[in-house]
Amino acid sequence: MEDFIIGLDIGASLTKIVLVNERLEIIRRMVLPSMDPRETALRALNNLFSTIDSEDRAKVRMTLSTGGRSRFLGNEILGIPIMRVDEIKAIGFGGLTLSGRNNCLVVSAGTGTALVAVYDGGRAIRHVGGTGVGGGTILGLSRRMIGVYDFKVLEEMALRGDPSKVDLTINDIVGGSIGILPANVTASNFGKILGEASAEDVAAGIFNMVSQTIAVVAVMAAKAYNLEDNVVVTGMLAKSRLISRIIRETTDLFSVNVIIPDNCELAGAIGAIAVYLKEKGESDSKI
Ligand SMILES: Nc1ncnc2c1ncn2[C@@H]1O[C@H](COP(=O)(O)OP(=O)(O)OP(=O)(O)O)[C@@H](O)[C@H]1O
Ligand SMILES: [Mg+2]
């Protein structure tokens, strides 16, 4: 009988759960808000099980958990053993698995932003660092500046807005390009906010600031770690059309190649399973 495995990534804001078979093919997936870790884990598993029949339920062997809020979940949930996987490893293997690369810089664009360098199919994994600028920054600033806290509403507003009403460009300062940068590139995020800027323009400025920061941090890390051809952007933020567009526009300026895989928001959850399967394979072959 085929075995099923669950990956559960309890992030700072959102919990991602995925049910896969041993070939890592996705059978079910869900995203829900993160609350108390054990309560969230229970809710995620119950929600998932409500969508499959008892035959498939019986195939589930294991839950692999990861994410900042995945500590203290105990050894089992709903009778299924649960094992915790280090989040850096999970992000690294998630990026590898989803992109099919052998070496890559994985950018986890979530509430905050984490960067993980992975080499040689995961035999070497380094936590490069990151930035506190991320999805939480978008929601926090927009709540205070324009009173909107819903990501989708905000994205729609940002798409209608004009960032040139809030951002100072290179052209605004020098009247043309400078060094490697074309005239339309941002010189100072929010450096020109005008009285006439609408809520939509401010939303566009917030999306610009966060996406450009993530992209520039990724570019610098990719260059320092020799991974310019293989930057894999994951996390829920990468699902946003606007964010991924701005990230690509920014990384293009520096000739860094960005991959945004399908299922990018599931990198942690799928990566946790990939780590488990790899370690299990290695220990099986040692016996
Ligand atoms: N529908 C959506 N599409 C794209 N981005 C979204 C959507 N809904 C929320 N977001 C953004 O995604 C962010 C959360 O991303 P993600 O779930 O990857 O992070 P997390 O795992 O909770 O946090 P971290 O990895 O930092 O612990 C939110 O802060 C929000 O800005
Ligand atoms: Mg996360």
| Any ligand 1 atom below 6 A from CB of 14 | yes
Q: What is the pLDDT of residues 91-128, one digit of tens each?
A: 999 999 999 999 999 999 999 999 999 999 999 999 99
Best CA proximity match to 205, nearest among 157, 134, 237: 157
108 lines ligand 1 (CB under 6 A): yes
Instruction: Output the CA torsion sign for 100, 22, 81, 285.
Output: negative
Tell me which H or E stretch contains 64.
Answer: strand 60-66
User: How long a stretch of residues is the chain?
Assistant: 287
Q: Which ligand is nearest to the CA of 154?
A: 1
CA atoms within 13 A on the CB side of 55: 2
Query: How far does the centroid of ligand 2 lie from the alpha carbon of residue 237, in Å?
Result: 10
Q: Which two tokens stand for residue 168?
A: 């100072």
Q: What domains lie within the chain, and their CATH numbers?
A: 4-84 (3.30.420.40), 90-262 (3.30.420.40)
Task: Give the model confidence (pLDDT) of 257-266 as tens digits.
Answer: 999 999 999 9
For residues 80 and 14, what is the distance between their CA atoms, to the nearest angstrom?
22
Q: Is the CB of 112 under 6 A from ligand 1?
A: yes
Dist CA 3 CA 138 (whole Å): 40
pLDDT tens for 69-80 read 998 899 999 999
Instruction: Check pLDDT > 50 for residue 29.
Output: yes
Q: Quick check: CB of 271 below 6 Å from ligand 1?
A: no
**3-state DSSP percent of the chain in helix, strand and coil, to 5:** 45, 25, 30
Local confidence band at 194 (pLDDT 50, 70, 90 cut-offs): confident
Determine the Cα–Cα distance for residues 64 and 41; give it in Å rounded to an integer: 11
